[in-house]
């Protein structure tokens, strides 16, 4: 597996996947910092609630976009001619190729989540907000879970769509669909692009005309449900991969 991931990493140099992806990530983080700095300066709260609230819209919109760009680009070689069939003849199974791409994309997603945490901590320090390492680690776990679901979706899309432009378009459309969904609602769970909203650490309420942010008391239950959702989606991806592998062979 490590060798396969290393090969996939070398392929990214040819397709410039990492450059384009980290360009989008950089823009996302700058946008996020600008929003969080504004929110923290006018916030009535002295903890991370306003931070978790502020990052959610940016994550919902931008994560599908940069992940779809990365997945589409790393499939550039396999889409050319009968590349997948030739790889299968040379002993490279379709399953191993896809899992190595999944693992590599998860590494990129993990880097984003880590950088996002650093941005949140920087803004919290500037705004003199209290923070909890336990909450921050859980937030990273939520991010990685959502990223895993998105990667599975884009890998499945790439199985049947040869044009990378359509894969990228699915990321843009998915980002806007997720952006329109209500936080913590069940429909956000059903639609893959809304998972990060279903797992929101903060809920917003309007009481007597006043907006109140409170920590989501059902977040652990939501996360356990989301794990089941991830297993189902992963099983579907495995089934499609096996079918695709038999078809190529």
- The tens digit of pLDDT for each residue in 146-197 reads 999 999 999 888 877 777 788 889 999 999 998 888 666 778 888 899 999 9
- What is the Cα–Cα distance from 91 to 87, expressed in whole angstroms? 6
- What is the Cα–Cα distance from 49 to 52, expressed in whole angstroms? 5
- The tens digit of pLDDT for each residue in 9-38 reads 666 666 667 777 888 888 888 888 888 887
Give pTM, 2 decimals: 0.87
């Amino acid at each position: 597996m490590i060798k396969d991931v290393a090969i996939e990493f070398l392929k990214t140099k040819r397709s410039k996947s990492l450059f384009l992806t980290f360009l989008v990530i950089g823009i996302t983080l700058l946008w996020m910092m600008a929003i969080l700095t504004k929110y923290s300066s006018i916030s009535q709260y002295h903890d991370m609630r306003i931070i978790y609230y502020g990052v959610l819209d940016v994550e919902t919109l931008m994560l599908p976009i940069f992940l779809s760009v990365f997945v589409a680009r790393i499939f550039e070689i396999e889409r050319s001619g009968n590349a997948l069939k030739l790889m299968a003849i040379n002993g490279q199974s379709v399953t191993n190729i896809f899992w190595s791409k999944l693992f590599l994309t998860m590494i990129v997603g993990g880097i984003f989540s880590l950088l996002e945490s650093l941005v949140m901590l920087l803004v919290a320090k500037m705004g003199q907000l209290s923070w909890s390492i336990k909450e921050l680690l859980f937030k990273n776990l939520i991010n990685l879970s959502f990223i895993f679901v998105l990667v599975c979706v884009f890998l499945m899309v790439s199985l049947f769509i040869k044009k990378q432009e359509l894969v990228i378009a699915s990321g843009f459309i998915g980002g806007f669909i997720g952006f329109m969904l209500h936080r913590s609602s069940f429909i956000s769970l059903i639609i893959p692009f809304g998972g990060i909203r279903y797992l929101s650490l903060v809920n917003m309420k309007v009481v007597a005309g006043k907006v109140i942010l409170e920590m989501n008391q059902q977040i652990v239950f939501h996360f356990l449900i989301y794990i089941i959702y991830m297993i189902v989606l992963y099983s579907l991806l495995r089934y499609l991969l096996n079918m695709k592998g038999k078809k190529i062979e």
